[in-house]
Amino acid sequence: MVDSPPIGDLHFDDAPNVGSVPGPESQELLDKQREIDSSAVAYPEDIPVAFDEGKGATVRDADGNTFIDMFGGIGVLNVGHANPYVLEAVHEQADKLVHTVDFPTEARLELIEKLDEIAPGNLQGNNRVVFGGPTGSDAIEAAIKLAKYNTGGDGLIAFRGAYHGATSGALSLTSNTGAKEHYTPLLSDVVHAPYPNPFEQGKAPDEAVEHALEEVTAIVEDPYGGLANPAGIFVEPIQGEGGVVVPPEGFLAGLREIADENDLPLIFDEIQAGMGRTGEWWAGEHEGVTPDIMTTAKALGGIGFPLSATIYREDLDTWGSGDHAGTYRGHVVAMRAGSRAIEYIQQHDLLAHARDLGANIRARLREIADGNSHLGEVRGRGLFVGAEFVDGDGNPDSDLVDAIQQYCYEHGVLVWTAGRHGNVLRLLPPLVLTDDLADTALDVVADAISHVTTAEQPTA
Ligand code: PMP
């Protein structure tokens, strides 16, 4: 059996190391993609690169340029690209058996047990897991069905700024109207309440929480609130696409109370924030709040295999056989990869590492913010980091963030964006990022910020 190598051994040695980008090989692949691939392709529009090989928190493009990966496939690669401890099990399993619908395999049962081991609060020892389709959206669809089935209701409560996926049910919960307008009507009874975001709302944290909870209470309890048969409250414990928005203390606990008082399931979407990203297994744990149902995907498949799961309290396990169906009810290789990834995180105490390193990264960004009025707020937990940029008038400035992303790319660091105005720099590096790689990456990010804001910085 392969050892579980320390995180320092996982990466290309030379990162960052880039020439002029995109190089000729990347360019050729990008050109060909433009000719034959869908017009819906999006990521290369922001970073024009073709990748060839990844190791740990580093990734190499088709021309041999090596980058530090500070976005990890949007929070997928928590144990790094090609983690050897995970890969060993992947190879073994792929040689033996890949697809079994939902017949039992050791891999399946082992992952269910592993998920129970890391389940939050009173879900531990008191849960069931349903594996539906492979993506996060599939887990959300399962959660919607489960909530409706158990309550007999059909109204769903979600939040402004939320992203829950792109299939019809999940898209109904997603708040971005631009993403929905061509596909309406979606699920009809979905109401979006405000998510507490003190920076954006210009409110004190407790005011923002109070306002949000009042709105949710009104939707659920006011006889003239408009939503007749609520089935559940869907919330990201930290909004990801919405801009790495950490709700102030009291919000999740308040939702828990409202859900309990009204006999509604509280559903946490942990697809982006979960699986150790924030320095706890699940983001809701920072506030000690346990949902009735939660969704996970992204990093669940270990090193990038598509796998999602919906985990729920045992008494909600009321479906009859076949009531939630699909061909891919858990991919055996992905399940092996998921169990190994959980083990790797445990063996190397990557939760503590994520907490410590994330705090250092935020401290460094806050130092920059102290001297730069364009960096409005630094947020996050663990290795889930957001930095919100504004123009000279304090309004959202997505151009600055795009320019920072481009500068970082040209200097060997891959970063991503988020936020309803696209003005949040989002970092979701693999949890195996070392202190040294983080320092180097943050040097580049700091240079980028200073480079793109200097021209318009007379007041700083
Ligand atoms: N929920 C959250 C919180 C997400 O961040 C995402 C993806 N960004 C999804 C759901 C949807 O997952 P997928 O793209 O795998 O369908």
Predicted confidence at residue 401, as pLDDT, reads 98
pLDDT value at 58 more than 70: yes
Summarize the confidence of residues 247-268 as an average pLDDT.
98
Cβ of residue 158 lying under 6 Å from some atom of ligand 1: no
d(CA 311, CA 123): 8
Query: pLDDT tens digits, residue range 284-294?
Result: 999 999 999 99
Query: pLDDT tens digits, residue range 412-455?
Result: 999 999 999 999 999 999 999 999 999 999 999 999 999 999 86
Predicted confidence at residue 454, as pLDDT, reads 87
Confidence of residue 459 (pLDDT cuts 50, 70, 90): very low
Biggest alpha carbon distance in the chain?
66
- For residue 294, the SS3 value is strand
CA of 172 to the centre of ligand 1 (A): 13
Cβ of residue 164 lying under 6 Å from some atom of ligand 1: yes
Sign of the CA dihedral with 338 first, then 340, 342, and 344 last: negative
d(CA 73, CA 300): 13
- For residue 343, the SS3 value is helix
Give burial (CB, 10 Å; 0-12/13-18/19+) of 176: middle
Confidence of residue 132 (pLDDT cuts 50, 70, 90): confident
CA of 414 to the centre of ligand 1 (A): 20
Predicted confidence at residue 144, as pLDDT, reads 98
Neighbour tally for 306: CB within 10 Å? 17
> CA nearest 432: which of 77, 52, 13?
77
CA of 64 to the centre of ligand 1 (A): 30
CA of 79 to the centre of ligand 1 (A): 19
Predicted confidence at residue 455, as pLDDT, reads 65
d(CA 388, CA 81): 28
Task: Please state the atom number of ligand 1 nearest to the C-alpha of residue 239.
Answer: 3
Cβ of residue 342 lying under 6 Å from some atom of ligand 1: no
Summarize the confidence of residues 69-77 as an average pLDDT.
96
pLDDT value at 202 more than 90: yes
> CA nearest 3: which of 299, 348, 418, 321?
348
Predicted confidence at residue 112, as pLDDT, reads 98
d(CA 215, CA 218): 5
Cβ of residue 428 lying under 6 Å from some atom of ligand 1: no
Predicted confidence at residue 65, as pLDDT, reads 98
d(CA 104, CA 127): 18
pLDDT value at 56 more than 80: yes
Cβ of residue 272 lying under 6 Å from some atom of ligand 1: yes
Task: Please state the atom number of ligand 1 nearest to the C-alpha of residue 162.
Answer: 3
Predicted confidence at residue 460, as pLDDT, reads 41
Task: Please state the atom number of ligand 1 nearest to the C-alpha of residue 240.
Answer: 5
Neighbour tally for 370: CB within 10 Å? 10
d(CA 446, CA 448): 5
Summarize the confidence of residues 120-147 as an average pLDDT.
97
- pTM given for the model: 0.97
Q: Residue of the nearest CA to atom 10 in ligand 1?
A: 164
d(CA 215, CA 258): 11
pLDDT value at 72 more than 50: yes
Residues 6+ apart with CB under 8 A from 270: 237, 282, 283, 284, 294, 295, 296
Give burial (CB, 10 Å; 0-12/13-18/19+) of 406: middle
Pocket test for ligand 1, best of 272, 307, 310 (most atoms within 8 A of CB): 272
Measured in degrees and rounded to the nearest 5, phi and psi for residue 193 equal: -95, 160
Alpha carbon 356 to its chain centroid, in Å, reads 19
Q: Residue of the nearest CA to atom 5 in ligand 1?
A: 272
> CA nearest 264: which of 155, 181, 168, 366?
155
Q: Residue of the nearest CA to atom 7 in ligand 1?
A: 165
Cβ of residue 271 lying under 6 Å from some atom of ligand 1: yes
Cβ of residue 93 lying under 6 Å from some atom of ligand 1: no
CA of 140 to the centre of ligand 1 (A): 9
pLDDT value at 456 more than 80: no
Cβ of residue 241 lying under 6 Å from some atom of ligand 1: yes
Q: Are 56 and 7 in contact (CB under 8 A)?
A: yes
Give burial (CB, 10 Å; 0-12/13-18/19+) of 1: exposed
Average of per-residue pLDDT values in the chain: 97
d(CA 194, CA 175): 11
